[in-house]
A = this chain, B = another copy of it.
Amino acid sequence: MTLVTTAGDDTTLTRVERKELTRQAILAAALRLSSDGSLGSLSLRQVAKEVGIVPTAFYRHFASIEELGLALVDEAFVSLRAMLRDVRNAGGDPTFNDMIDSSMRVLADHVRAQRSHFAFIARERFAGPPQVRATIRHQIELFERELATDIARLPGTDAWSTEDLYVLANLIVGASVSTVEELLYADRRAAEELVIARACTQLRMMLVGALGWRSAD
């Protein structure tokens, strides 16, 4: 149950390495414990007990639970950015359909691998402490702006205004967030596949609609 001394060869570790190890253990414990109920209903003492340290030792790493929450948001968005990189790499150029399918595949894989991070973001986006909420909103907005520049490179969007690009990016990110949230609740593998298939259809609708709508305008 206690994690702080998981790596058995204590002797080979320098002091800063040990501290970092404890820090990681605290982050992992907080992620585990907050999976039911938000950060607000997570106590410093619970975390300390889960990690296997005395409550006051917590302060050697974070000044408060809120500060821990901000560190978790950082950690989660690092893995989200890794996903975005994978999406870009996997994005086959040949057809829209290939691009959409492979992107959704990557998304689903990441949700499965980093389930607790995604769930944490979903929870704290609206229920977390104000600064945590603000940071999450800001990061999502960054995603939207990045996606907008990606879309600008797609064929058929040459004449689009910045605002139009952003509107479409906002729609796609919003739909992706919905998909992630549905994936989090998909218990069986079959249910997951259904969610993915639907999301692909929806993405296709959006892209067809956006391109058709613009050229008809």
Contact = CB atoms under 8 A, between A and B. Distances in A.
Contact of A175 (B124, B168, B171, B204): B171
Nearest to A173: B178
A215 to B, nearest CB: 11
A191 interface: no
Interface string A127-144: 111100000010000000
A167 B201 CA distance: 8
A198 interface: yes
Interface string A114-158: 000001001111111110000001000000000000000000000
A102 interface: no
Interface of A: 36-38, 40-41, 119, 122-130, 137, 167-168, 170-171, 174-175, 177-178, 181, 185, 198, 201-202, 204-210, 212-213, 216
22 contacts: A36-B130, A37-B41, A37-B129, A38-B40, A124-B127, A125-B126, A126-B127, A137-B185, A167-B201, A168-B205, A171-B205, A174-B174, A174-B175, A174-B178, A177-B178, A204-B213, A205-B206, A207-B209, A208-B208, A208-B212, A209-B212, A209-B213
